[in-house]
Amino acid sequence: MSNRTFTMIKPDAVANGHIGGILNMINAAGFRIVAMKMTQLSAAKAGEFYAVHKERPFYGELVEFMSSGHIVAAILEKDNAVEDFRKLIGATNPANAEEGTIRKKYAESIGRNAVHGSDSDENAAIEGDFFFSGLEKF
Ligand SMILES: Nc1ncnc2c1ncn2[C@@H]1O[C@H](COP(=O)(O)OP(=O)(O)OP(=O)(O)O)[C@@H](O)[C@H]1O
């Protein structure tokens, strides 16, 4: 079990002024931020990041949305990081997300759902490298 996961605060939450609120929830849950940056994905980069969903009907909408505005990408550290962070963000569809989760509080819909969280240790490492590769040491 790795102690790191990767997250993005998505364009809806950034545009609606929720970066601070979401980071507070992340800190309060015991995660340490080891790398973080604000950036905007090109459609090509968003498509690459979500390539596993290429065949899904919502792929075009997802890529358009994820490249529509600024995002905040971060690597987080905590014991059991991947699983605990998935619990903290809540269900993909905010209608099914539990009280106390980030998506319950900040997500607008299944597409505009405020945050991303890696679903495995392997993907956490791949996704972290996607944004923070090479020269940076953390
Ligand atoms: N039916 C849908 N309509 C529109 N967008 C969707 C739909 N299902 C999923 N998505 C979008 O695709 C993303 C990836 O879907 P996935 O099933 O991997 O959910 P997730 O693992 O909870 O989300 P994420 O990977 O962003 O943490 C979702 O977060 C959501 O933004």
| CATH number of the CATH domain containing 125 | 3.30.70.141
Q: Per the domain annotation, does 25 fall within a domain?
A: yes
Q: Per the domain annotation, does 77 fall within a domain?
A: yes
Question: What residues form the annotated binding site for ATP?
Answer: 10, 58, 86, 92, 103, 113
In the predicted structure, residue 135 carries a pLDDT above the cut 60: no
Q: Per the domain annotation, does 87 fall within a domain?
A: yes
User: Residue type for 122, please?
Assistant: E
CA of 21 to the centre of ligand 1 (A): 21
The mean per-residue pLDDT over the stretch 124-132 comes to: 96
CA dist., res. 78 & res. 111, Å (int): 27
φ/ψ region of 17 (left if φ > 0, alpha if ψ in -120 to 50, else beta) reads left
Q: Per the domain annotation, does 107 fall within a domain?
A: yes
Q: 74 near 33, Cβ under 8 Å?
A: yes
Strand 115-117 versus strand 70-77 pairing type: unpaired
Q: 99 near 40, Cβ under 8 Å?
A: no
Tokens of 26: 């992340």
CA dist., res. 34 & res. 73, Å (int): 11
Share of residues in the chain with pLDDT > 70 (%): 96
What domain range is 56 assigned to?
4-133
pLDDT category, 113, cuts 50, 70, 90?
Answer: very high
- The ipTM value here is 0.92
In the predicted structure, residue 32 carries a pLDDT above the cut 60: yes
Residues known to be catalytic? 116
CA dist., res. 93 & res. 113, Å (int): 7
CA of 135 to the centre of ligand 1 (A): 31
The mean per-residue pLDDT over the stretch 3-28 comes to: 98
User: Residue type for 3, please?
Assistant: N
In the chain, the number of structural domains is 1
Any ligand 1 atom below 6 A from CB of 117: yes
Q: What is the pLDDT of residues 46-77, one digit of tens each?
A: 999 999 999 999 999 999 999 999 999 999 99
CA of 45 to the centre of ligand 1 (A): 17
Return the C-alpha torsion angle 129, 63, 73, 98, nearest 10: -120
Q: Is 112 helix (H, G, I), strand (E, B) or coil?
A: coil
Q: Per the domain annotation, does 47 fall within a domain?
A: yes
pTM for the whole structure: 0.95
Q: Per the domain annotation, does 138 fall within a domain?
A: no
Q: Which residues are 49's β-sheet partners?
A: none
Mutate to test the pocket of ligand 1, among 58, 98, 127 (most ligand atoms within 8 A of CB): 58
Tokens of 8: 């993005």
